[in-house]
Amino acid sequence: MIPLAQSFSFSTPHGRTLVCYSDTVRLPQLPEKGRVDALYVCDEHTLPLLRQAEYFSAQVPLVVLPAGDEAKNLDTLALIAEKAAEYGLDRHACFIAFGGGVVCDITALAASLYMRGVQCILVPTTVLAMADASIGGKTAVNLSGYKNLIGTFYAASSIILCFPVISSLPEAEYRSGLAEMLKTAVLYDTELYQMFLTRHDEIIRRDSTCLSLMIRRAAEAKALVVERDFTEQGERAFLNFGHTFGHALESLSHFSIPHGDAVAWGISRALAVGLRMQLTDKDYAASLIKILNCYNWCTNPVYFNRQCNSNSFADEIIVRMKKDKKNRGGIIRLVLQEDILKTQVREVDTSIIREVLI
């Protein structure tokens, strides 16, 4: 793929990943003549946009997935591989994902497995996927109600961030991406954090200049972490701040709660744990909770959509948290913060977790 004028790259064990910024909705440009060894993957919501995108080729076989997290399963993974085999795609093929985090995750997983690995290009179409999910090579599907239980680390060769798609995102999808950017801000970028404080109105009305800057900062910050710790042996685990609680909530809700909303709630619970362990600075926790409330994310102990008593809610969340990949020896490990940019992973007793869920 020919790099665009504005781009950056980062290294992984699979080579370099090129990240391109685009002011148009576009796909990678493929050969106009001869056999095209490529496969498009999108979902029902992104299909119309895919067909209108610059450099779309009707010659390329297409897999259209159901929209939503329920499609992130082994059957859908097999469907992508079967379509590639049906069209005789070989080890020189390229799988091109056009969609949100679900489409990018499952397409990249299929690419990592098909014929033991083919090239993968991601064109994320949500804020969450642009700023976070597409950056860094984590691929996965859900299994038996558990989030991302089966997956690989497999870096895309290229990622194209098409900023114009942001204006047409549903509100829930847009807010979901904002939460992931806030997470990156508190971990690595004080200037991005300040933007959430001082540019609220621009963010809410989706000002294009403001958002493109925020997404770039978040994507580049995550890429630096991925370079240092691709397979999450250390620092990269920090990017799961709020996710252990959040993934448990998603699973409990059968993935009806948007990922970012669940993560934002999870951040509030992680702050509550940090306060109980006398680890988290009280002023910092208050400041971050104020931002979460300002953007209308839930910070209550019991998530406000759950129709159940607090004890059963806590039980259900803890059961799911015990399946988290960061755990060791059956003990729950959480990403906690002392202050902005000061992060650590700690083992936490379930009694403390229960206290912040009732």
Do 22 and 53 form a contact (C-beta atoms < 8 A)? Answer: no
In the chain, the number of structural domains is: 2
The model's pLDDT over 154-178, given as tens digits with 9 standing for 90+, comes to 999 999 999 999 999 999 999 999 9
What CATH number did the domain enclosing 234 receive? 1.20.1090.10
Give the percent of the chain with pLDDT over 90. Answer: 90
What are the residues whose beta carbons fall under 8 Å from the beta carbon of 68, sequence distance 6 or more?
A: 43, 102, 255
Q: Would residue 2 count as lying in a domain?
A: no
pLDDT at 272 over 70: yes
pLDDT-derived band at 2 (thresholds 50, 70, 90) equals: very low
CA 33 from centre of chain: 36
135: enclosing H helix or E strand: none
pTM: 0.92
CA angle at residue 218 from 182 to 122, to 5 degrees? 120
Mean pLDDT of 275-288: 98
Answer yes or no: is pLDDT of 64 > 70.
yes
CATH number reported for the structural domain that contains residue 111 in this entry: 3.40.50.1970
Band of residue 111 on the pLDDT scale cut at 50, 70, 90 = very high
Contact yes or no for 270/279 (Cβ under 8 A):
no
Q: Are 228 and 285 within one domain?
A: yes
One domain, residues 180 and 260: yes
* pLDDT over threshold 80, residue 271: yes
**90 lies in the same domain as 222:** no
Q: Is residue 1 in some structural domain?
A: no
248 in a structural domain: yes
In the three-class reduction of DSSP (H, G, I as helix; E, B as strand; rest coil), residue 348 is classed as: coil
Question: Is the C-alpha dihedral spanning 231, 235, 125, 172 positive or negative?
Answer: positive
Assess whether pLDDT exceeds 70 at residue 4.
Answer: no
CB atoms within 10 A of CB 65: 22
Residues 156 and 185 in one domain: no
Do 163 and 269 lie in a common domain? no
| Measured distance CA(276)–CA(301) in Å, rounded | 14
Q: 207-230: per-residue pLDDT in tens?
A: 999 999 999 999 999 999 999 999
CA distance 319 to 148: 16
- Model confidence pLDDT, tens digit, residues 184-193: 999 999 999 9
236 in the same domain as 180: yes
What pLDDT, on a 0 to 100 scale, did the predictor assign at position 109? Answer: 98
Based on the fold, state whether residues 142 and 262 are members of the same structural domain: no
Are residue 316 and residue 260 in the same domain, yes or no? yes
Contact 146, 321 (CB under 8 A): no
Nearest to 137 by CA among 156, 158, 118: 156
Q: Of 138, 169, 200, which residue constitutes the final position of a domain?
A: 169
User: Dihedral (C-alpha) 250, 254, 259, 263: value to the nearest 10 degrees?
Assistant: -10
Give the pLDDT mean for 335-346. Answer: 98
211 with 120, same domain: the answer is no
Which residues are CB-neighbours of 7 under 8 A, at least 6 positions away? 18, 19, 20, 21
Range of the domain at 52: 7-169
Tell me what pLDDT residue 223 has: 97
Burial class (CB in 10 A: 0-12, 13-18, 19+), 206: middle
Percent pLDDT > 70 in the chain is 97
- Is residue 127 one of the residues assigned to a domain? yes
Lowest mean pLDDT among 21-25, 249-253, 323-327: 323-327
**If pLDDT is split at 50, 70 and 90, which confidence band does 354 have?**
very high
Closest CA to 124 of 158, 74, 148, 170: 158
Domain co-membership, 13 together with 127 = yes
Q: Of the candidates 169, 202, 218, which is a domain's last residue?
A: 169
Boundary residue ending a domain (169, 191, 221): 169
In a domain, 242, yes or no: yes
Any domain includes 115: yes
Same structural domain, 24 and 161: yes
Question: How confident is the model over 13-36, as a mean pLDDT?
Answer: 91
Q: Name the band, by pLDDT with cuts 50, 70 and 90, for residue 305.
A: low
35-53 residue pLDDT tens: 889 999 999 999 999 999 9
* 90, 239: one domain: no
What is the model's pLDDT at position 5? 53
Residue 238's alpha-carbon distances to 54, 259, 337, 343, 356, in angstroms, are: 37, 17, 9, 7, 20
Residue 339 has pLDDT above 90, yes or no: yes
Residue 37 lies inside a defined structural domain of this protein: yes
List the one residue out of 155, 288, 134 whose CA is nearest residue 231: 155
Per DSSP, helices labelled H in the chain are 47-52, 74-86, 101-113, 127-128, 171-188, 190-198, 200-204, 208-228, 243-252, 259-276, 282-294, 310-321, 350-355
